[in-house]
Amino acid sequence: MTKFLILGIETSCDDTSVSVIENGNIIRSNIISSQIDLHQKFGGVVPELAARCHLEAVLPIYRLALTEAGVSIHDIQLIAATYGPGLIGSLLVGLSFAKGLALAGEIPFIGVNHIEGHIYANILGHPEIEPPLLCLTVSGGHTDLLYMRKWGSYQVLGRTKDDAAGEAFDKISRVLGLGYPGGPYIDRIAVGAKDDLEFVQAKGFTNSFDFSFSGLKTAVMNYIQHQKQLGLELDVPRIAASFQRAVVTQLTVKLFQAVKDYEAGTILLSGGVAANTLLRRRCQTEAERLGITLYYPELSLCTDNAAMIAAAGYFHFINEGPRNLEITAASDLKL
Ligand code: KG4
Ligand code: ZN
């Protein structure tokens, strides 16, 4: 089989990433430069700083990605870059860089939806995945439950009505005095902790596949406030574990209700929150019980990276050909 090399570029939020992949699913390089240290002290991403940081990082990261893959730009047959959703200034850096490379090298170009990229992270290492399937996409900006009849077709069964799951993890981590981004901190501190606190949640979405996390977030914050007013010490691991259990329960109840309703035989998890240990474990146990197949990306491919963008770009290129270079960054792009 001839090798088709794709260069992926991702700069939608606070990670600058460039990757080279082969034939849509073999990673040759996947360099990720994180800005976490920069944004940590602000407790969240500062858009102007993020864009400036991408600008400084993109060229060296691109060179490193080519070197590690052992190729030159002349070997690349397709350039795929995220064009949305995300922070507009950040998106523009990667997209403009990608377009410049495509124009100068006369290389076909394709713009990729970042959320779709997260879904395609699953086929890196698992080319055998075949729709129809259900996909739970849970990131810092999105919580979507999707039915995919075929690759590239997305029926939204439900999505969050307020905060994204990752956003709730980040907020609760901040009020508990843990780090940013919050998910990994809560995940770690919850290990072995009691998770018996019941936080009252919104009841409005029980009969739909839509999600809601803002009521839960408020309940946790009220609990913390109340404990402080009483002069009681906070049991941070217990609060974190109880909050995490509530999020994971909401996600898994809806996901497995959809499995039943749609008679799904395959499910995918995608997005940063798919790295969550409890979510992965619960889904694994339930999938085994039901005899269905569960896929989730390896940890480094759950959070933002360019290999997933290259994989999604390859799929669209093979099916629809290249796009023209007039595509612009779209910060609120939908699936
Ligand atoms: O997909 P991603 O890297 O960026 C977006 O597209 O938003 O997701 C980032 C989100 C953050 O909110 C982060 O707290 C969350 O994913 N996250 C986790 C874990 N690792 C990352 N949430 C729960 N458990 C984790 N282990
Ligand atoms: Zn993402």
Percent of the chain whose pLDDT exceeds 70: 98
Given a cut of 70, whether residue 205 has pLDDT beyond it is: no
- pLDDT given at position 204: 59
Atom of ligand 1 nearest to the CA of 304: 3
Q: Which residues line ligand 1 (CB under 6 A)?
A: 13, 118, 139-141, 166, 169-170, 181-184, 187, 271-273, 275-276, 303-304
pLDDT, average across residues 258-282 = 98
- Residue 122 Cα to ligand 2 middle (Å): 14
- 249-253's contacts with Cβ under 8 Å and 24+ in sequence apart are 250/201, 250/211, 250/213, 250/216, 251/136, 251/138, 251/143, 251/165, 251/211, 251/279, 252/279, 252/282, 252/283, 252/286
In this model, does residue 151 exceed pLDDT 70?
Answer: yes
Q: What is the dihedral of CA 198, 173, 137, 205, to 10 degrees?
A: 30
Nearest ligand to the CA atom of 309 = 2
Q: What is the mean pLDDT of residues 19-40?
A: 93
CA of 13 to the centre of ligand 2 (A): 8
| pTM, two decimal places | 0.95
Amino acid making up residue 127: P
Q: Looking at the CA of residue 140, tell me the nearest atom of ligand 1.
A: 7
Residue 281: nearest ligand to its CA? 1
CA of 272 to the centre of ligand 1 (A): 3
Alpha-carbon span 220 to 172, nearest angstrom: 8
Q: 283-328: per-residue pLDDT in tens?
A: 999 999 999 999 999 999 999 999 999 999 999 999 998 888 999 9
Q: Cα of 184 to ligand 1 centre, how many Å? A: 8
What local confidence, expressed as pLDDT, does residue 202 receive?
A: 67
Of residues 37, 27, 105, 33, the one with CA closest to residue 68: 27
Q: What's the gap in Å between 165 CA and the centre of ligand 2?
A: 12
- From atom 18 of ligand 1, which residue's Cα is the shortest distance away? 183
How much is the average pLDDT of 160-176? 96
Full set of structural domains in the chain with CATH: 5-121+301-320 (3.30.420.40), 133-296 (3.30.420.40)
Q: Counting ligands in written order, which one lies closest to the CA of residue 275?
A: 1
Decide the pairing of beta strands 133-138 and 143-148: antiparallel
